[in-house]
Chain A
């Protein structure tokens, strides 16, 4: 059956490069200048954050030499065709993922700290708190320029029951993106729903008048519920009030979306077969999510995305490639060579999917180059070695040229304990979303531009 599902995607990919390259550039312009002769706009810079769980087998990951002349170790082999777009960043640490007095719970911390660089407050439920994540900083600074400030994707649902990790609420082990320190951004895991969200907004058979009324009605409903929320908020205290704040943020965001849709041309439906749910095959699932990110970037529907391959602590079985054991179970390899080899195999598989995404981006022409030239794709885990649960020496890759902001094709080795958040700050600079403080960042990361 996966055969059957594979066909539509392939067909679709043929259209990927061409279908929506033009509307992208056009709809970026304010309405006033559209139609007039304007200078050729430059493609915007995009950022994506891809997360893999449970660390990696580092001996097969870290290149032995640094600088521009380095060999790709076994786990990074799939990325070979894109080596000139690759930065391997070694030595970075995410200190706040460590216990720092809070005891066990490394998986929950690894994920929730990865993009925030903040210590997660240890709680099973009450007072969840970590910090704002780098993607959301970007979303808040430049998100208004696109229909969706950011896109949150994953392959696993949040846990359905039970404790997630040693006294940490499941909110920590399934959310990487945090709008505020207390509001995780829920992720979408069904490719069909992502597609409908991105492209399904308007109905074709509507007249201008009906469409106009619909927008007017939507706005009045938002006004109504916004007023409800404000007056209710005034009558509540503490934690209740925070919930209403979250609600109001949502209202504002949808209002902005409507305003954005009004001042921009209707989004053209890409020549891409509408996904019909979550594919059985894991690889297929990941690749659909990659395609959707490319489509969203290509149509400038968003410039920021996060994508969790699997929640941290995932015990997923990779039986389809002869690794039937659970990933988490394996990651506590206790030095067992066979187990390490299997972990490396899983790492290799994940990197292959990254290579797929990068290849797709390369196929989208933009200006003088491609989408990949205007992108920064960060890829990695908040755990180094799954057996040790260490949060330094993290496996981190950065792909793309960042609109010229990155000098890629190199392996950079940073001093021990260099905060991963320094990388995030540097990426924000290249998004015109620069900020001075982000979690435990101590400054910018040196050497990215060469």
Chain B
């Protein structure tokens, strides 16, 4: 946390330090030292308490270089703007007086390297420094940064207790209770931080949400568990389709039509009590009498009716009866058929009856076979009673409840529930009994409490829980605050690790296999973690990575908010919006499922389309709504960059926005976001801009205060100008021909989208690092700190060494220190 106050100044600092894409090469700067193997857990020689990383001998040399090479360079090329009372971009380089300064603000120095190597700074209108001078500075700073990353104090961080977000809540309820019911869809949306909605610090708990949790818990337990009751009044509905005999009458327009006398019936089971028979029917009249029917129970006439209702507006005919209990055959019979072939009006030749349904309203016995699966799973031990007519003894009920709660709460809390917790749940069960409610009501009540408990709603990683885990179901008072924890950094307990894994890959709770390994203390042992990570990734539940990670990384969740102008883009409609989204989801999923190289995100030669989207892309011969994989022959459209979803969310409603597209690439693909726009954008009213969008933007950029940043963003966007605001190919923008060529800072040029993509693919290390950072942020639920750089570098190195396989990226994250370890309370960072 020591960096916090400094970091505030960084953002504005970057304002002045304008831009460079070409900087990509710098990503190599904080590379891990080649050949250095992944650290083992015990390899954390450097404890967080220990002091500075730089060895004294080096320190002299470092000071030397700083004083002789770096400072003079800064003085000659930078101080003019970046020092004094109002330094450009609020970045004052004079504050860095010695070599140790690098360690005090690693983020800023990393940016300095990025901007120097990318030739963004010094700006174009200033004298160019000599190449070897720049190299001397960047090499030295990079080395210093690498030293800090690799030998410096390593801190796995302390993730703030995470509330389940909406997706996680829905999935956890599904897996915990086995009922598919998405209560969290009605919860307020979760706030986003660092680009994701899984960040502990940002997931707040407003009172409204607690209210929703309570209401949801009530509904969930009522669905999952049935409280057996005495006979209940119910309506047994038999539709016209199900009415017997199946071959009587003609089936049309959701009814059964009888042209001659006949009877339709249904068989129902009732218990003793008052019942009612209801028949919905209508008639086609002919002759001088209305259609007549009789309602019968077990062959006995109950009541006769004239059916005057028309088929467009059928009516319900009802008769009451007393049932002694048992099986009944209920029926409606048509008994006054009429045929007159001589009638001149053909509609009046036949009298006929139409029946829509037969309902019986009566008392129905509780049927134990109708219990939902979830009920049987949760109440796996039913209290036994000597006399089936009366409830089991309180002792027997308590014994069952205890077992039920121990199993349920352990799964819900994702760690063994202790005796104290179960005792308290037992009190709720007894409370229900004292109120005269049945056993199942007590179970419902206790489960409801579990589902609102902070132990369920939050993913808690208690310090010292590792000790608790060893004594499954052990003593009640464990891990209390009184216990002194001496180790500042500790591996997570197996249960905590199981949750981290399952929420990372499934956005849900661990399954039985993970729990079993955790209970045996085996999850972190040997190759289990890697094997389990791969198992979870291969499971279909890892679809959660698409729904929650990909949709936020690529920002396609914003697609639902995009509102392209219908006048300008009449092709845009809901089916197209859905197709765009589906394409990107399926594409991401294919990389996961087929364990492809993550570089395929940039330029895979295949994608997924249905007819609608194929037409949008100009791909011929695709018919129907089904999505299918197609190979892309056109080199201009490949990879996520040119998918319509991404192109649409980075556009304005009426036009493309090269700035937004450029920014999207810098942020989401390369991980080098441009500084935010300055607060006082100068007004442009004096200058009348004209020409194509590109020409206008270039005139705009003539303004030096805009130029440097836009030199970085705009060319990237220009390279995609052939794709309109909904991602369709175009050669012209209105009357102007599109010029998709561009020059990036540093001088690299491209002629159009295909070459731009080639340049980006050349930056694979940078792309991979950025993806690793995003996925690690998502997995951890916290923003990354400079202390995470080392772990990121190791992940990237391993992924590169293994052909950029997606699974390697995931496994390496799971094996990384920030994922495996935790700094305990009270330990200073």
Contacts and interface: CB of A to CB of B under 8 A. Distances in A.
In the A-B complex, the 4 residue pairs with the closest CB atoms:
A125-B193, A250-B210, A335-B685, A166-B676
A182 B204 CA distance: 8
A302 to B, nearest CB: 12
B684 A126 contact: no
Given A232-B460, A324-B654, A221 B191 contact: no
Interface string B4-16: 1000100110010
A224 B454 contact: no
Given A171-B202, A232-B454, A253 B207 contact: yes
B206 A184 contact: yes
A222 B449 CA distance: 8
Interface in B459-473: 460, 462-463
A84 interface: no
B558 A161 contact: yes
A13 interface: no
B734 interface: no
Contacts of B197: 160-161
A329 interface: yes
Interface string B781-823: 0110000000000000000000000000000000000000000
Interface stretch (A44-52, A293-301, A314-322, A365-373): A314-322
A405 interface: no
A254 B195 contact: no
A326 B673 CA distance: 23
Interface residues of A, number: 88
A187 B209 CA distance: 10
B204 A184 contact: yes
Contact of A188 (B188, B425, B431, B782): B188
Contacts of B189: 157-158, 160, 186
B161 interface: yes
B453 A224 contact: yes
Contacts of B210: 247, 250-251, 253-254
Given A163-B673, A247-B205, 4 more contacts: A104-B676, A183-B206, A235-B462, A317-B563
A240 B161 contact: yes
Interface string A363-405: 0000000000000000000000001110000000000000000
B677 A104 contact: yes
B747 interface: no
Interface string A206-238: 000000010011101110110111001011111
A128 interface: yes
A317 B653 contact: yes
A257 to B, nearest CB: 8
Contacts of A103: 11-12, 15, 90, 676, 679
A122 interface: yes
A325 B556 CA distance: 20
Contacts of A249: 207
A103 B13 CA distance: 9
Interface of A: 99, 101-106, 122-128, 152, 157-167, 169-171, 174-175, 179, 182-190, 193, 197, 213, 216-218, 220-222, 224-225, 227-229, 232, 234-240, 243-244, 246-247, 249-251, 253-254, 257, 315-317, 319, 324-326, 329, 332, 334-336, 387-389
Nearest to A328: B652
Contact of A162 (B8, B448, B453, B555): B555
B175 interface: no
Interface stretch (B134-142, B373-381, B565-573): B565-573
A193 B782 contact: no
27 contacts: A122-B11, A125-B194, A126-B160, A158-B189, A159-B558, A162-B195, A166-B11, A170-B191, A171-B193, A182-B204, A184-B204, A184-B206, A218-B214, A221-B448, A228-B454, A228-B455, A234-B481, A243-B200, A244-B454, A246-B205, A250-B205, A316-B563, A319-B653, A324-B568, A324-B653, A388-B680, A389-B680
A236 B825 contact: yes
Contacts of A183: 204-206
A167 B11 contact: yes
B70 interface: no
B424 A224 contact: yes
The residue among B186, B206, B448, B826 with the most chain A CB atoms within 10 A of its own CB is B206
Nearest to A249: B207
A127 B193 CA distance: 11
A243 B203 CA distance: 9
Contacts of A239: 160-161, 200-201
B189 to A, nearest CB: 4
Contact of A221 (B204, B428, B652): B428
A187 B193 contact: no
A332 B200 CA distance: 35
Given A232-B454, A243-B163, A334-B685, A315 B205 contact: no
A330 to B, nearest CB: 9
A87 B560 CA distance: 38
B262 interface: no
A177 to B, nearest CB: 9
B684 A334 contact: yes
B449 A247 contact: no
B551 interface: yes
Given A104-B677, A236-B161, A125 B199 contact: yes
A329 B424 contact: no
Contacts of B8: 102, 122
A218 B444 CA distance: 12
Nearest to A229: B454
A152 B207 CA distance: 11
Contacts of A317: 563, 565, 653
The residue among A221, A254, A319 with the most chain B CB atoms within 10 A of its own CB is A221
Interface string B587-626: 0000000000000000000000000000000000000000
A246 B206 contact: yes
A313 B560 CA distance: 17
A200 to B, nearest CB: 9
B437 interface: yes
A220 B437 CA distance: 15
A188 B208 contact: yes
Interface in B335-379: none
A163 B193 CA distance: 7
B680 A254 contact: no
A407 B506 CA distance: 59
Contacts of A243: 160-161, 163, 200, 203-205, 458
B452 A221 contact: yes
A160 B676 contact: no
Nearest to A244: B454
A253 to B, nearest CB: 4
A126 B782 contact: yes
Given A126-B201, A184-B191, A243-B458, A235 B653 contact: no
B425 to A, nearest CB: 8
Interface string B174-201: 0000000000001011111111110111
Nearest to B479: A235
A126 B458 contact: no
B681 interface: yes
Nearest to B424: A224
A213 B188 contact: no
Contacts of A101: 12
Contacts of A102: 8, 11-12
Contacts of B193: 123-126, 128, 169-171
Nearest to A332: B681
A126 B197 CA distance: 13
B46 to A, nearest CB: 23
B552 interface: yes
B191 A187 contact: no
B480 interface: yes
B76 interface: no
B557 interface: yes
Contacts of B196: 161
Contacts of B424: 224, 227
Contact of A160 (B194, B462, B557, B568): B557
